[in-house]
Structure 1
Amino acid sequence: MEVTRFLSIPAFYDEVESFLLEQEDRAGLMLGNSLRFKDKVWEEEQPFLATVKKDGEIMLAAMLIPPYALLLLEKDEADGVGAVPYLVDYLVKEDYAIQKLNSPKAVGRAFSEEWTKVHHLEEKVVMDLRLYTLQSVIQPAARTGKLRKATDADLTFLPQWVLEMTQETNQLMTLAEAEEYALERTKNEFLFIWEEDGRPVSMASKTRPNIKGVSVNLVYTPRGLRGKGYASACVAALSEYLLQEGYEFCSLFTDLANPTSNKIYQNIGYNPVCDYIELKFNKKRTEKPV
């Protein structure tokens, strides 16, 4: 197998476009980054972009956009797992540091096994994820309320909601980062609110508008308002809105440790595609002598 590194996202995307579009649902993260960052000028640390090929066919694609996690994507699981050692060898020879990984589970596990062995590290599972897609909405039980776009007036509470959600999902932000995130999502009209009797009770966001598909994330209902169907109503209404915008499908990730969210999304029409894993690599802890 042969590892090829690319020095720009446009060059990488030219190589992997068909590979990504043939599996756009599974490729949402990598495809989204390719489209989002294609014109970005990198002043400091450059992105890592590579493919592993066998007989001219892509077995594995890799992308790291600083400071985010390394993304891996394969089309065939066995081929992807078989390509991992070649990618790890290349990264070791280039003395490239990898601290985080987000990948389909089998390939991610294979990479972690190789990477932790070579560098004497240990893995920490940040989250076990499942990717779902939806092509038509199954409407949940009718309830009062409506979906609307977030406005500047909502920025009095949205940063706190974002902060609380990231605390629950182990993707920690500072309050300042949550304020910036909420402001950006509100300005680009990606953030939506479900309100009942004029009171905001849940939120969800459009994200990664790609070619045929678009994703939903940032689904959150404050603790005191849960169990009332607000998240189901919000995600169903947002998914319907996005399909009406012309997208062929919507996708989202769930935490497998949260059976409630997995159930409600399936109830409104989301079907499982594959499992992902999000990992961090840490130095091995050494026990102190007694």
Structure 2
Amino acid sequence: MIQLHRYREVQEFKNQVEPLLSKNEVLHNLALGILHSLNESSKPNFMGVILKDSRAALVLLQTHPKQIILSQIQKLTEGELSEAAELLQEIDVPGLVGERQTALYLSQKLAALKNQEASLKMDQRIYQLDKVKKAVDANGVLVKARLEHLPLVTEWIWEFMGTIGEPVSKEQAVKTGEAFIKAERLFLWEVNGKYVSIANATRPTTHNITINFVYTPREERKKGYASSCVSTLSQLMLDSGFQTTSLYTDMTNPTPNKIYMEIGYEHVADSALVLFHEKK
């Protein structure tokens, strides 16, 4: 029997789902990392669990205006996912991000029920690292970003968001940069006195932390800077007490996938972001 249980209180939701998600911190790093940042005054757009025979099967969390995070606790058959879609059709679901096969099937069923179209926005791979394998370029050094770096950080965040198809305003880029710098986990790769690459560590959970916003400006690419930056930052996070680091890559771009595997990252799962829109 498939059921949907909705939650209104953040703490009750956290108490129910954190132990389930924590059994695989890397796979569920997106939902877990966001949950860890929420407090009792937080107001997520949606919190819910799809139950199979009264046991959690899918955890649903929305704090982003365009997507609900879908975390798979136990595998559902296509028939059970179809039942789940029927339960979700009364909810405003702008998009789904989660385990690829589940997200794609559920979104197709949901789109049909709502007379909408579902389009694949991102095809991603989730990687995990527990040991850095590749030696770093000795010429560079990792520098923690400070407020004096904000103009450069802002420019690179603005460029990065444009390259991944999620453009933001300069004002939004400034706010993001300030938040990253304040969190003290944004780092620049410096070579011969010049900053050439950037990476951020985010969404810490008990044993894992995620690396994101990896960016090198066009004129500095193909020199190994991003690899050195990510490798050094990953080692720094392991040295600070995390057992693993994780990251997402664009499945359609073989270059970063190859680079990260050389560093020591191993493929854990595939993830898809699907957005819903009205039929044209």
Distance 1:210 1:192 in 2: 19
Which of 241, 266, 272 pairs up with 1:271?
266
- Letter in structure 2 aligned against 1:30: A
The answer for the alignment partner of 1:40 in structure 2 is 41
The answer for the alignment partner of 1:70 in structure 2 is 68
| 1:87 and 2:88 correspond | no
Q: Is the contact made by 1:52 and 1:83 (CA closer than 8 Å) also made in structure 2?
A: no
Deviation for aligned residue 1:278? 0.9
| 1:178 and 2:173 correspond | yes
Distance 1:221 1:39 in 2: 38
Identity %: 30
Distance 1:142 1:162 in 2: 24
Deviations 1:233-265 (A, max 9, x none): 000000000001100000000001211100000
Deviations 1:17-65 (A, max 9, x none): 22101111111111111111133343xxx53111122233211111112
Distance 2:155 2:136 in 1: 29
Query: What TM-score does the superposition give when structure 2 sets the normalisation length?
Result: 0.95
**Alpha carbons of 1:2 and 1:265: their partners in 2 closer, same or farther (altered >3 Å)?**
same
Distance 2:238 2:190 in 1: 21
The answer for the alignment partner of 2:18 in structure 1 is 17
Distance 2:34 2:41 in 1: 11
Distance 2:78 2:123 in 1: 18
The answer for the alignment partner of 1:56 in structure 2 is 54
With 269-278 and 5-14 compared, the bigger mean Cα shift is at 5-14
With 162-171 and 95-104 compared, the bigger mean Cα shift is at 95-104
The answer for the alignment partner of 2:115 in structure 1 is 120
Q: Is the contact made by 1:28 and 1:210 (CA closer than 8 Å) also made in structure 2?
A: yes
Distance 2:53 2:115 in 1: 33
Distance 1:183 1:257 in 2: 31
**Alpha carbons of 1:81 and 1:201: their partners in 2 closer, same or farther (altered >3 Å)?**
farther
Q: Is the contact made by 1:162 and 1:182 (CA closer than 8 Å) also made in structure 2?
A: yes
**Alpha carbons of 1:126 and 1:107: their partners in 2 closer, same or farther (altered >3 Å)?**
same
Q: Is the contact made by 1:10 and 1:34 (CA closer than 8 Å) also made in structure 2?
A: no
**Count of equivalent residues:** 279
The answer for the alignment partner of 1:288 in structure 2 is none
Query: What TM-score does the superposition give when structure 1 sets the normalisation length?
Result: 0.92
Distance 1:60 1:80 in 2: 12
* Local SS of the residue matching 2:65: coil
> Within 5 A, what are the aligned runs for 1:1-290?
1-42=2-43, 46-77=44-75, 79=76, 81-92=78-89, 95-140=90-135, 142-285=137-280
Q: Is the contact made by 2:126 and 2:267 (CA closer than 8 Å) also made in structure 1?
A: yes
* Local SS of the residue matching 1:156: helix
Q: Is the contact made by 2:136 and 2:231 (CA closer than 8 Å) also made in structure 1?
A: no
* Local SS of the residue matching 2:47: strand
- Letter in structure 1 aligned against 2:23: E
Distance 2:106 2:179 in 1: 34
With 237-246 and 136-145 compared, the bigger mean Cα shift is at 136-145
Deviations 1:137-170 (A, max 9, x none): 0124534110010011211211111011111111
Distance 2:175 2:78 in 1: 38
Deviation for aligned residue 1:209? 0.5
* Local SS of the residue matching 2:24: coil
Deviation for aligned residue 1:16? 1.4
Deviation for aligned residue 1:81? 4.9
* Local SS of the residue matching 1:246: coil
Q: Is the contact made by 2:133 and 2:263 (CA closer than 8 Å) also made in structure 1?
A: yes
